[in-house]
Amino acid sequence: MAEYDLLTIGNAIVDIIARGDDAFLEQEKIQKGGMTLIDADRAEHLYASMGPGVETSGGSAGNTIAGFVSLGGKGAYVGKVSNDQLGSIFGHDIRSLGVDFETRPLEGFPPTARCMIVVTPDGERSMSTYLGACVELGPEDIDEAKIAAAKVTYFEGYLWDPPRAKEAIVNAAKIAKANGRSMAMTLSDSFCVDRYRGEFLDLMRSGTVGIVFANEAEALSLYETEDFDHACDQLAKDAQEFAVVTRSEKGCVVIAGDQRIAVPADPVDKVLDATGAGDLFAAGFLRGFTMGLDHEKSARLGVAAAGHIIQQIGPRPQTPLTELPAVKAVLG
């Protein structure tokens, strides 16, 4: 019996979420709907320019493990923070959820990462991220016993930005494979795919990663095509276990060999904040997968979790996801 159902590895980031309009994005030269890496000076400028914000622990893989444990799974997280106020906030938040988080904090500079998120009236989020301590995540932060004890190890494509994290991920993948475990990744965003297309494809084709999560824009970017069916066909060849592509209001498609399983989105009253939608979809899907559910039921869990999170501000569930009627309908 695995000690953990899921272990995620990611950039440990404190999110600062504020509302803004398209004019503010244009004024500050913020790429709408994307994630842009910034330096410390730019981070200070944006923090001062944004309106009132909500500070919450975030980071893509951190959000996924938060959603996963909210669905009743047992999880662990690996991510680098600094021994500062934001680092303490992040550690407290994730441990309070019941997630095992023991990554040794960095002493001194650089400080804990933060992401300035501007949410426009259409619910779209535009992110400016200062990676800070995240760039110091390295192979020494990978606990072999924990990777070996996790049914699935999942990491975010954003980790390809900090250089030493690549080596950490490859090491984790070797440990997972040696112990008969699954390795999963999310492509993170289309701009990230543009930066590392070749490396992401190598991860899949070499079998380093067996499970792939992407949204439609990322899948199209990965194969430099505008043809969704073509992208799915290529994913079927490259994803050693399976791939899942989310399509916003169109739901998602699970791609496993010759199988294409389309699951519609759940209706929502109003999209308040799209932050974390893909992260929570992955949480729901992987909860189903680690429970032994079939792909269709796993996707329905993912859709339910994502549909819930976009109707609140912030990427972490404020109520247990196991209480959602749509989740109960899948789990019985």
What are 182-238's pLDDT values in tens digits? 999 999 989 899 999 999 999 999 999 999 999 999 999 999 999 999 999 999 999
What are 317-332's pLDDT values in tens digits? 999 999 999 999 999 8
Q: What is the CATH number of the domain that holds 161?
A: 3.40.1190.20
Within a domain: 40: no
CA distance 293 to 302: 12
User: pTM (2 decimals)?
Assistant: 0.91
CA angle centred on 285, ends 299 and 252, rounded to 5°: 35
Within a domain: 113: no
Q: Is the peptide bond before 110 cis (omega within 30 degrees of 0)?
A: yes
CA distance 166 to 171: 9
Within a domain: 297: yes
Within a domain: 127: no
Q: What is the pLDDT, as a whole number, of residue 35?
A: 86
Within a domain: 29: no
Q: Any idea of the CA torsion for 69, 72, 74, 80, to the nearest 10 degrees? A: 0
CA distance 301 to 146: 26
Under the banding of pLDDT at 50, 70 and 90, the label for residue 130 is very high
Q: What is the pLDDT, as a whole number, of residue 112?
A: 94
Number of domains in the chain: 1
Within a domain: 119: no
**CA dihedral sign, ordered 187, 24, 311, 320:** positive
Within a domain: 252: yes
Look at residue 1 and tell me whether its pLDDT is greater than 60. no
CA distance 6 to 169: 15
Phi, psi at 137, each rounded to 5°: -60, 130
Q: What is the pLDDT, as a whole number, of residue 2?
A: 65
Question: Domain of 320?
Answer: 4-11+60-85+136-331
Within a domain: 231: yes
